[in-house]
Chain A
Amino acid sequence: MSTQVHERVVYAEAQGEPDLRPHTHLRVTAVAVLLLAWEAISRAGIFPRVFLPPPSAVAVELWHLAASGDLWRNVQPSLLRILIGFAIGSAAGAVLGTLAAVSVRAEAVIDPLVALAYPIPKIALLPLIILWLGIGEGSKIAVIAVGAFFPVFISTVTGLRGANPSLMRAAQSLGARRWQIIQKVMIPSALPVAFAGLRLATGMSLLLVVSAEMIAATRGIGYLILYAGDLLQTTRLMAGIAVLSVLGLLSTWLLRWFERMVVRGVE
Chain B
Amino acid sequence: MEVRVAQVCKTYTRGRDAVLAVDGVSFTVHAGEFVALLGPSGCGKSTLLFIVGGLLLPSSGRVEFGGALGGRPLTAMVFQDFALFPWRTVLHNVAFGLEVRGVPPRDRVLRARELIRTVGLEGFEHRFPRELSGGMRQRVGMARAFAVDPAVLLMDEPLSALDAQTRDLMQDELLRLCERQSRTVLYVTHNIHEAAYLADRVVLLSRRPGRVRGVLDVPLPRPRDEAMQASPAFVGFTREIWAMIKDEARAAMAEESA
Contact = CB atoms under 8 A, between A and B. Distances in A.
Q: Is A bound to B?
A: yes
Contact of A180 (B74, B75, B100, B154): B100
B100 A167 contact: no
A267 B88 contact: yes
A177 interface: yes
B89 interface: yes
Nearest to A176: B100
Contacts of B154: 173
Interface string B205-243: 000000000000000000000000000000000000000
Interface in B68-127: 74-77, 79, 81, 83-85, 87-89, 92, 96-97, 99-101
B250 interface: no
Contacts, number: 61
A174 B148 contact: yes
A263 interface: yes
A170 B100 contact: no
A69 to B, nearest CB: 46
Nearest to B75: A173
B128 interface: yes
A171 interface: yes
A167 B55 contact: no
Given A16-B130, A166-B83, A175-B100, A267 B92 contact: yes
Interface in A1-59: 14, 16
A35 B93 CA distance: 51
Interface in B166-222: none
B79 A170 contact: yes
Given A169-B55, A175-B101, A14 B83 contact: no
B144 interface: yes
Contacts of A174: 76-77, 96-97, 100, 144-145, 148
B79 A166 contact: yes
A198 B59 CA distance: 43
A267 to B, nearest CB: 5
Nearest to B96: A174
A122 interface: no
Pick the most buried of A14, A175, A176: most chain B CB atoms within 10 A of its CB: A175
B74 A175 contact: yes
B53 interface: yes
Interface residues of B, number: 29
A169 B83 contact: yes
A263 B54 CA distance: 31
A167 B74 contact: no
B76 A173 contact: yes
A170 B130 contact: no
A173 B77 contact: yes
Interface string A129-172: 00000000000000000000000000000000000101101111
Given A266-B87, A267-B89, A166 B144 contact: no
A188 interface: yes
Interface of B: 50, 53-55, 74-77, 79, 81, 83-85, 87-89, 92, 96-97, 99-101, 128, 130-131, 144-145, 148, 154
25 contacts: A14-B131, A16-B128, A169-B77, A169-B79, A170-B77, A170-B79, A170-B84, A171-B100, A172-B55, A173-B53, A173-B54, A173-B76, A174-B76, A174-B77, A174-B144, A174-B148, A175-B74, A175-B100, A176-B96, A176-B100, A184-B85, A184-B99, A266-B87, A267-B87, A267-B88
